[in-house]
Amino acid sequence: MPLRSKITGTGSYVPGTVLTNFDLEKKVDTSDEWITERTGIKERRIVKGTEATSDLCLEAAKNALQAADIKPSEIDLIIVTTMSGDMPMPSTASLLQKKLGAKNAAAFDLNAACSGFLYGLSVADNFIKGGTFKKVLLVGAEVMSRFLDWKDRSTCVLFGDGAGAVVLEAAKGKRGILSTHLYSDGSQWDFICLPGGGSLNPPSSKTIKERMHFVKMKGNETFKVAVRTLEKLVIDTLKQNRVKSSELAMLVPHQANLRIIKATAERLGLPMSRVAVNLDRYGNTSSASIPIALDEVVREGRVKKDDYVLLEAFGAGLTWASALIRW
């Protein structure tokens, strides 16, 4: 039987502070009606005080390890997918390793923005299938609120903070990750970006004055490309695995925009009852959105043994990715 990567535990965590659309009306020139109509978002969770990305990672990881009945010392590898790590170095994965007490694990970060979790899933899957590691902890986590311009109503209403995690283990048989698919188009990098703080535009009075340390986004252009790209992506993923859309038990999309999610579901002929949606409560949590949504549907019993589950995402880079799992 083929060696596969199997998700044996899921977990998630979101901060306790809720920021509603009505709260945002007091911060910026916007309205609950405007945000809801264009995005489907009603509220999001925001960190407070010194709470950082690694802290969110820790709570999500604990929940995933408990679900998998795995001790931290049994983990071979920790991958954290994030664009909002605690600091440029060391990796947030290394900080998580310390907090978790996973003393036997290698650790590194991966950044593919909103597609990050699926990029990380592909990397973990290949490590396991290749025999390099047997038990991998994969965490998608973001503290987007620290990188938002609260004067820019086109971006600050979209994002939230949170973390989701999965434990992957080597297993034989038909169940597990069937395939992963990764794509990128760097020619459209400026559709979504955070231009300040790196080697190109290091921190300076100029970058601060020009507000370069905040997320910038060309919303309309991104929306059009996302809808077109994701429709093709999900169809191609199913075709390559000879699985019909009618056989899908659950679609777990990146939680960016309800209109994009509905368009993808319609393309697959899926009722919304078979689509994981939580962006109304959490907003866009970037690489954390898919693992948070996956954890919810698993714990709600909406995903069962042998079910086909399709994951898909689109984000900065531009990047897009998918994964098909037989649960």
Bridge partners, 137 (sequence order): 78, 167
Clarify whether 284 is annotated catalytic. yes
Give dist(CA 112, CA 116) in Å, integer. Answer: 4
**DSSP assignments along 135-147, one per residue:** EEEEEEEEEGGGG
CB 215 within 8 A of CB 159: yes
Angle between helices 53-68 and 92-100 (to 10 degrees): 50
Strands 135-143 and 77-81: parallel
Please tell me which residue in 156, 254, 257, 278 is annotated as part of the active site: 254
CA angle 252, 266, 236 (to 5 degrees): 65
CA angle 298, 43, 190 (to 5 degrees): 90
Please tell me which residue in 63, 111, 114, 278 is annotated as part of the active site: 114
Clarify whether 254 is annotated catalytic. yes
Please tell me which residue in 63, 111, 257, 284 is annotated as part of the active site: 284
CB 41 within 8 A of CB 22: no
Residue 249 CB neighbours (<10 A): 17
Clarify whether 213 is annotated catalytic. no
Give dist(CA 222, CA 236) in Å, integer. Answer: 21
Give the residue from 175, 171, 177 showing the smallest Cα distance to 305: 175
3-state helix, strand, coil in the chain (%, to 5): 40, 25, 35
Instruction: Report the catalytic residues.
Output: 114, 254, 284
